[in-house]
Structure 1
């Protein structure tokens, strides 16, 4: 424990004698490369055999795949199988963009593909504005159509950035097109009768052909819009590296145009000022979301933004009906809520996951979690009840896409706030002077941290279950092209799957394990059906990977149950190290005595891929969707459950010490 505390403390200033080559420096270098130090790291640097690299920070939902998480999995299962799987992933082609799309680059960045006929292009553009721009108003419809009409005239626009804008619109339109829409397009333009899966990439390459011009020559609003649209395309084809790089470029271009400020009096009309504001906030939403999901710092300074998110409708667009007109006709504007949520996500990364946050005391971090949780709950409570997270959706199916995006964002942000407490790495630092014993009326800081460790992981688990429930309930409907915008970048369901995977390893006897397995199996079934998408290799890769994880978790549960049912099995308890006999809480298994034999190599993930029977089976009777099904915080105000008071300190060091569903109150 002392070593762990020292490892996360701020290193002392280097003495003048500590120069390169000195014995002290060599000792530090050797220590930094030791496995014991690496295994404390919740970030990950993945390097393949050709030298390509990816950094995934601790704020990502994939932090369980970090050295720290892998070491924990190995301790829980007694097997190195997970590490072997990750080594395979590291070498796997689909994990790297150079494998999936490298063959599509011919090195000639000036090459362009011909545009479709005006009729087919008009059909795609209309589909884009209906499907995508209604939720993310990247383009002004009237300005776009004026330039579009000129494109098919004798006087086409000459700006290079317009060519980029037109092609990103066509690319996103193709990506979100269903089979029926593609058939309609092909009837309008026989030239597009070839494989439609190639067309999004062709239009994207057309946009790429003017990227250097946009960066160095055409510094205008359409250039920023083009790069933002290209980032959306990269995210859609599951290339987060490309999306992150492009949105960073867009952020620099946006600030070079002053999009982060409201600038009246410089010859811009109010309509132009409002469009600049919307473009900035769309860029902000995508950039902050990507930064949090990948675990990397943002390129946007929140302290230098001169206006708030836009409100109200945009030329009659941007609003959705949230209830039947005969009952209570209301309008809701999801874009504004997306902006506000992105602001909260930015605060979460800065206050809980940035390197500077590690120098805070434990109490300061608890207060930060409390403050961010309260801000997120206030954001949620301002939703109409019909579309509020933690409640069933009551809106027009045509309007469902932005609401589901907001629900995913809420659960992901909630988990990000509390994961830092449940995964603990920031709690290894200072042991404060106020962590001594306390009375029931005034519990100690350590007791508060213990109780809040329970509630934090309860919230993380509830969020994961809700994300999976949303996915299997709404996203498995291919008649709605908007669903593809979420599924083709399946970060949310996969990260939620990983959270339940970790929970099954920690608490294999949890009464809700059966319901969790059903959700996990259904997500596997959904992923297998998504293999009809353009980029099949990455979806097959993801399905195979989480299938392997499901094998590990399911067999771990079976092994623990078999061992406990054995006549010779003896249950140990958490107080054994102290010579005490403390009862084990229901659903917990002592991780210190839970080491099982390695999983047999003959087991294949295909054995556990969901069949039709699994996919159509009824959900678990537990309410998996509504977090509000847990007791409200005002019902437990002042209560202090010290179930873990007698647990060894080393148990609380485990980054995936998963808790049961306890009452919570995060007021501080």
Structure 2
């Protein structure tokens, strides 16, 4: 039978009582003093967390193991208010709950918000701050109802990135003339993110294009139509972005015309003529969609690329029929791992389940590349390894079944994954190894190397994903630990480690994002996801521990993030607009000010 629990609170009372539906009291918790000041910061960026002691954590109401994951908004009237806290699954999506209905700001949920609610983003996603439990906890921390309205705007803005807002053209548009087609092609192969994965083999593509433009190739293959038009679309965006007088909107409009041509044969790629070229086309289309700053199309396209690749046996080796050359064999191997990386990356960011089962893969990562390949085997292999760790993380930690595990088991899983991540990092060559803590803004080779940006941000993002289950107080529920002081002490220590690990990783991403090159061509979804994930996590850390000395630097970093999103809004002509970032940073400053006034 499903258990449901309720939080009972009375106005002016410093205690909360947790009861299940049969009213068997779990425990009585007193609100204690906040965590005292600790010397965690240098001049700007906080240092390690060695000074956050378990004793300090045990004195913090925010870290009390009894109320962990069961926070609610304070009552707004003279009567006791009951807030229903359901099973872990109830926090998944931002639906209106009794906790929100008790708040005057609940009216901020518009009709558009209800249309967004069904979007599934996962319990450990940073968007869970917009769940009823997340909103209630944040409103309690900042002593304000304002976050309900902010959460509505945040969810609406981000969910637009998860959906397709354009209709496909009824007819195919004209393709570029030969001279422009070659300009777009060269831009694609020389500047596209696709070159990291060698999605399209350049000599082969240019050979076909030369024949096509000279009318010597009579090929009605839908995969060839999709492939060349996707190259035109990506190349158009890259080529035209060099002209600073061209607006983001006009560039995207022209690129979209070519991309619509590719989309027009999408069903054919899946149902009529699945092929290696179809896999390349679908993957290139997914990466183009990522460049729109939206995983809306990317998620579906890369899933389809994965399914076609697996239907062709790319994940296990070659079928019995046919004897491909060594060159073709090597291309197929790298192509599968390119599909794997993109699919795992997008599925983690969107909170959607992966369509690739790692246990079903019978293909090793290649150790060599073709002479004319653009793949850097060291970096590509490292990116593959981060995606493999990400896949294990999702399987071990983010499934509904594991969310029901006892705290001791969850701690073992989290610490095991953290150790795996840090052990993997230690094996990397120094020239590509992510730093533990970035101290200041700097322009270095990483800032212009898209592969290293992806590798380093993926590592920091995985650190955050590993630990957020013990950082988001609303993400899981646990029983009373009153009779098990040893487990309670372990949990306090775990929350300390996890909170600092997440905060440090968030700071590193924000510092790295300062040097991201945002222009009409580079609005890749990971340039949006990583900074936003870091921004929300650092905000949670600040309002949870508003009296730490590290707060001064963290507030500054939140302002830096606000500037980053403002720059993105400016460059994209407000096509990508996240004004709620300024409001969230303002809430953090208000919470810090209130905490210091109360000391």
Out of 116, 119, 125, the position equivalent to 2:176 is: 116
CA change 1:426–1:471 in 2 (3 A) is: closer
1:455 maps to 2:464: no
Cα distance between partner residues in 2 of 1:424 and 1:73: 10
Instruction: Tell me what 1:154 maps to.
Output: 215
Q: Does the 8 A contact of 1:40 with 1:68 survive in 2?
A: no
1:173 maps to 2:235: yes
Cα distance between partner residues in 1 of 2:524 and 2:585: 23
For the residue of structure 2 that corresponds to 1:56, the secondary structure is coil
Q: Does the 8 A contact of 1:387 with 1:394 survive in 2?
A: no
Out of 334, 340, 348, the position equivalent to 2:379 is: 334
Cα distance between partner residues in 2 of 1:49 and 1:59: 20
Instruction: Tell me what 1:562 maps to.
Output: 597
For the residue of structure 2 that corresponds to 1:284, the secondary structure is helix
Cα distance between partner residues in 1 of 2:403 and 2:88: 17
1:276 maps to 2:335: no
Cα distance between partner residues in 2 of 1:195 and 1:98: 22
CA change 1:216–1:504 in 2 (3 A) is: same
Cα distance between partner residues in 2 of 1:72 and 1:398: 36
1:128 maps to 2:188: yes
1:302 maps to 2:380: no
CA change 1:97–1:486 in 2 (3 A) is: closer
Cα distance between partner residues in 1 of 2:447 and 2:505: 25
Cα distance between partner residues in 2 of 1:164 and 1:138: 14
Out of 507, 510, 516, the position equivalent to 1:475 is: 516
Out of 469, 483, 487, the position equivalent to 1:420 is: 469
Cα distance between partner residues in 2 of 1:522 and 1:457: 21
Q: Does the 8 A contact of 1:40 with 1:67 survive in 2?
A: no
Cα distance between partner residues in 2 of 1:318 and 1:204: 24
Instruction: Tell me what 1:368 maps to.
Output: 413
Q: Does the 8 A contact of 2:468 with 2:498 survive in 1?
A: yes
Cα distance between partner residues in 2 of 1:50 and 1:366: 35
CA change 1:142–1:255 in 2 (3 A) is: same
CA change 1:476–1:233 in 2 (3 A) is: closer
Q: Does the 8 A contact of 2:290 with 2:525 survive in 1?
A: no
CA shift at 1:142, angstroms?
1.9
Instruction: Tell me what 1:539 maps to.
Output: 576
CA shift digits 1:576-627 (9 cap, x unpaired): xxxxxxxxxxxxxxxxxxxxxxxxxxxxxxxxxxxxxxxxxxxxxxxxxxxx
Cα distance between partner residues in 2 of 1:398 and 1:75: 39
What TM-score do the two structures reach when normalised by structure 2? 0.76
CA change 1:354–1:98 in 2 (3 A) is: closer
Out of 263, 279, 296, the position equivalent to 1:208 is: 263
Out of 204, 215, 218, the position equivalent to 1:143 is: 204
1:266 maps to 2:304: no
CA shift digits 1:15-42 (9 cap, x unpaired): xxxxxxxxxxxxxxxxxx9843289844
Q: Does the 8 A contact of 1:501 with 1:550 survive in 2?
A: yes
Out of 548, 560, 563, the position equivalent to 1:510 is: 548
Bigger shift: 389-398 or 79-88? 389-398
Cα distance between partner residues in 2 of 1:7 and 1:334: 51
Cα distance between partner residues in 2 of 1:296 and 1:345: 13
Matches within 5 A, 1:303-318: 303-318=359-374
CA change 1:99–1:533 in 2 (3 A) is: farther
Relative contact order: is structure 1 or structure 2 higher (C-alpha 8 Å, sep ≥ 6)?
Answer: 2
CA change 1:430–1:282 in 2 (3 A) is: farther
CA change 1:90–1:373 in 2 (3 A) is: closer
CA shift at 1:162, angstroms?
0.5
Instruction: Tell me what 2:25 maps to.
Output: none
Instruction: Tell me what 2:66 maps to.
Output: none
Q: Does the 8 A contact of 2:283 with 2:302 survive in 1?
A: yes
CA shift at 1:466, angstroms?
0.2
Cα distance between partner residues in 2 of 1:292 and 1:245: 13
Q: Does the 8 A contact of 1:244 with 1:290 survive in 2?
A: yes
Instruction: Tell me what 2:508 maps to.
Output: 466
CA change 1:276–1:511 in 2 (3 A) is: same
Q: Does the 8 A contact of 2:516 with 2:527 survive in 1?
A: no
Cα distance between partner residues in 2 of 1:213 and 1:100: 20
CA change 1:67–1:287 in 2 (3 A) is: farther
CA change 1:63–1:311 in 2 (3 A) is: farther
CA change 1:488–1:431 in 2 (3 A) is: closer
CA shift at 1:7, angstroms?
7.6
Unaligned residue ranges in structure 1 (runs of 5+): 9-32, 187-191, 321-331, 438-443, 565-668
Q: Does the 8 A contact of 1:422 with 1:457 survive in 2?
A: yes
Unaligned residue ranges in structure 2 (runs of 5+): 7-17, 22-81, 96-110
Cα distance between partner residues in 1 of 2:319 and 2:355: 25
Instruction: Tell me what 1:356 maps to.
Output: 401
CA shift at 1:287, angstroms?
1.6
1:228 maps to 2:266: no
Q: Does the 8 A contact of 1:70 with 1:82 survive in 2?
A: yes
